[in-house]
Structure 1
Amino acid sequence: MINKNEDSGKKLVSLIILNYNGIELNIIPACLSSIFALTYPNFEVIFVDNGSHDSSVLYVQEKYAARGLVTLIVNEKNLGYGTANNIGFKHARGDYIALLNNDTEVDQYWLDEMVNTIENNAGCGMVASKTLNFYTRDIIDNVGHLLYPDGLNWARGKMEKDQGQYEIETEVAFPSGCAALYRREIFERAGGFDDDFFLFGDDTDIGLKGRLLGFSCVYSPKALVYHRYSATAQPYSPQKFFFVERNRIWILIKFFPLDTILKSPFHTLTRYFMHFYALLKGEGVGGKFIQEYSGLHLIKVFFSVYCSAAKGVFRMMQKRKKWAQKRTVDSTEIKRWLKQFRVTVRDVTLKV
C-alpha cells in the first residue's frame, strides 16, 4: 500500500478498518469512498476482514487492494474486535494509528482535525471524534467516552440533539473505538488490545492503558464522523449484553484501585435496580431488550456473564500485576479520572 503523499511533511497515519460482512450490510462502499476523499495528505489504509461470509473481500480486493490503495488482511474466522485490530497494527507503519468501524463515514477534514488536535495538545496520546448519527445527523452518537464506577463505559452526549453544546476542545476519558486516533507508542507499550475481550469494552481497555502510560485524551469537535450505530452487532442483543457486562468486570479487576473495586457492587446493584425499573416501564436499555427477548433469556445471560467473568479472574489478576508495574500514575490519579469522567446511573440505564 502506497501512502497518499509521503512527501507532504505530515506524519503518516495508519488507518485500520475492521470489517465483518460489510457488503451484506451495504456499508463498506460508503466508508471507503469517504476515506479516499480525505484531505489529509499522508495516510495508509489497512483493511482487516474478520471472517466475512459475504463478498466483502472480493469487493475490496478488486476495487482497492488490486490498485495498491489498501493493504487487505483476511482472517479465516471472526477473531473479535481487539485481536483483529492487533493484527492490523502489525502491518501499520504510521506514527499515528487511526481506528474506524466499517459502519462509519468520515468528513473530508476528519483526519486533519484529529492530527491537529493530537499535535497541538501537550501530553495528548488519544483523540476522540465528534460522532453523529448517520441517519439523523443532528443527534449525537458520542463525543468521547465516560466511566461508571463499576467499570462500565458510556458514550458522552449519547442521543442528545446537537445544539452546539460540544463545540469546545476538551479532555475526555478516552475515545470511542468506532473513530479514534492514537499515538503509535500507546499500542507498542501497551501490547495492543486485550485478546480475551473479543467484543465490546476494548476501547475502554486501550484507553485506560494509554492513561496509565501517562497520556491524556482530547475531544476534537471539528473531527466529524457519521455512524450507523451497531450496524454489525445488534444494539440490544443478548450477545452485546454478555460481552459488555463481562468485560466491564474484567476492566474493574485489571485497572481500578482496590477500595473502588470493593465499593463497586453497590454501584452495580444500583444500576441493575434502575435497569429493572426501566424494564418495567418499557424504557431505557432494559425496555429495549425486553421488547425482543424474554425475562428468562435475560436471567440466563446474566448468569453466563458471571460464570465467564469468574473463569477469567485469575488471568485478569495477572494482568493487574503487570500494569501495577508498568503504569506511570498512582491510584489517586485513577480515582480522579473516575470522578472527573463519571457518568450518572440514569444515563447508563435510561438513555438508549
Structure 2
Amino acid sequence: MAEGERIDSAPLISLITINYNQAVVTCDMLESTRQLTYPNFEIIVVDNGSLENPTERIRQGNYPNVTVIVSPDNLGFSGGNNLGLKHAKGDFYFFLNNDTIVTPDLLETLLEPFRRDSTIGVTCPKIRYYDQPNVIQYAGYHPLNSYTGRTWAIGLMEPDKGQHDQSGPTYFAHGAAMMVSQPVLEQVGSLDDSYFLYYEELDWSARIRRAGFQIYYQAEALIYHRESMSVGKMNPMKVYYHTRNRLWFMRRNVTGFPLLVFYLYYFGLAIPKALIQYLIRWQPAYLKAIKDAIIWNLKHTNKQARSASPPLAVTA
C-alpha cells in the first residue's frame, strides 16, 4: 500500500508515555486524550519502576485503548520508550511526556506532513507551558553549535503572538512530543539506551537527519507541558545527566577540530564555572555529580562513542 493511501485510511498511531511515581499526572494526560478527534490510536503507558503500580488507578479511569506495561526497574526515558515500542502495533509512534495535555486535533495535524513529503521522519507540535498557556517552550530548534555543544528551542519563553506559526524543517525534535514514522525505526533504530535521561532525543534527531529524514515542526499542532515534573527544576541527578550526556552527545556526533575546541571550552570554562558555583554555595552532592559524570565518560571509549553513525556536519 502506498504511503499516501495508508495515511489517508487513518493508520494506527501508538501513543507511548512513561510514568514514574506520577500516576495522578499521568491520568491527567490520559484524561485529556478523551478529546482527541483522531479515530485510530492506542495508548501504551510504561511504568518505570514506580513505588506504586499505577495499573489499577489507570484501569479505574476507564481511559480509551490503554495498555499498561510495568517494568520492575527504572529504564530511563530512552529505555522506557523503547520498552513501549516493543508492545506498539502502530504505523506511527507518538512519544509523549506524561506531564502534557493534548489538544483535540493533535494527532491528525501531526500526521499531515507525512502525507505531503516522504522524507519527513518526525513531526513535533508547538509546545506551550501548561502554567503559562500563552508562552512558548518549543517552536523548533536552532542548529547545534559544534564548538560549545549548545542549542536552544526557537521561541523559548516568548509570548505566542503568532510569530512562530510557520511550519517547516527543524534541527531537533523535542522529547516531550514527537511523532515518528515506521521507516525511521527500520532504518535508524530507536532511542539510545546509554543516555537514560536528557540529550537522547537530540542524539536520535542527529542520527535521523544523517539517514536523510527531516525533522519537521508542525506549527498547527499544539500541546501544553508541565516542564520537569519527573525530576524537578534542579537537583544532583539532573546535573549528573546533563553533564554526562552533553559530553557523550558531542563525542558521538562531532569530530575533528570542532570537538577539540569543545573539549577546551567545556573543561576550561564550563566545568570550572559550575564547580566554583557549587563550591561557593557548598553543594557537595552537585560537585560529586560532575565528578561522576566525567568518570563515566572516561570509562566509555571513543569507539563506543562513535558507534552510532558518521558525524554531523559542523555548524558554528
TM-score, with structure 2 as normaliser: 0.88
Question: What residue number does 2:75 align with?
Answer: 79
Cα deviation, 1:172-196, whole Å, max 9, x if unaligned, reads: 1121111111112222333311111
Q: Give the CA deviation at 1:102.
A: 0.5
Question: What residue number does 1:30 align with?
Answer: 28
Identity of aligned residues (%): 29
Q: Give the CA deviation at 1:266.
A: 4.0
Question: What residue number does 2:3 align with?
Answer: none
Q: Is the 8 A contact 1:126 1:174 kept in 2?
A: no
Cα deviation, 1:302-341, whole Å, max 9, x if unaligned, reads: 22211111112x2x523524523xxxxxx5x622xx34xx
Cα deviation, 1:106-140, whole Å, max 9, x if unaligned, reads: 11111111111232245111112111000111111
Q: Which moved more, 1:118-127 or 1:132-141?
A: 118-127
- Aligned partners of 1:38 and 1:290: how far apart in 2? 49
Indicate yes or no: 2:256 matched with 1:258: yes
Unaligned 5+ segments in structure 2 are 1-5
Tell me which stretches of 4 or more aligned residues in structure 1 moved more than 6 Å: none
Indicate yes or no: 2:299 matched with 1:320: no
- Aligned partners of 2:307 and 2:73: how far apart in 1? 32
Change (3 A) 1:153 1:62: farther
Change (3 A) 1:37 1:27: same
Q: Is the 8 A contact 1:98 1:181 kept in 2?
A: yes
- What amino acid is the match of 2:67? T
Cα deviation, 1:177-218, whole Å, max 9, x if unaligned, reads: 111111122223333111111111111121111111111111
- Helix, strand or coil: the match of 1:226? strand
- Aligned partners of 2:189 and 2:151: how far apart in 1? 21
Indicate yes or no: 2:299 matched with 1:303: no
Q: Is the 8 A contact 2:251 2:305 kept in 1?
A: no
Cα deviation, 1:211-262, whole Å, max 9, x if unaligned, reads: 1111111111111110000011112111111101211211111121322211
- Aligned partners of 2:235 and 2:155: how far apart in 1? 22
- What amino acid is the match of 1:12? L
Question: What residue number does 2:191 align with?
Answer: 193
Change (3 A) 1:290 1:235: farther
Question: What residue number does 2:205 align with?
Answer: 207
- Aligned partners of 1:32 and 1:119: how far apart in 2? 27
Question: What residue number does 1:21 align with?
Answer: 21
TM-score, with structure 1 as normaliser: 0.79
- Aligned partners of 1:122 and 1:322: how far apart in 2? 24
- Count residues in correspondence: 309
Q: Which moved more, 1:120-129 or 1:242-251?
A: 120-129
- Aligned partners of 2:270 and 2:153: how far apart in 1? 19
- Aligned partners of 1:166 and 1:305: how far apart in 2? 36
Q: Is the 8 A contact 1:253 1:317 kept in 2?
A: no
Equivalent of 2:90 in 78, 94, 108? 94
Unaligned 5+ segments in structure 1 are 1-5, 281-285, 325-330, 340-352
- Aligned partners of 2:134 and 2:234: how far apart in 1? 23
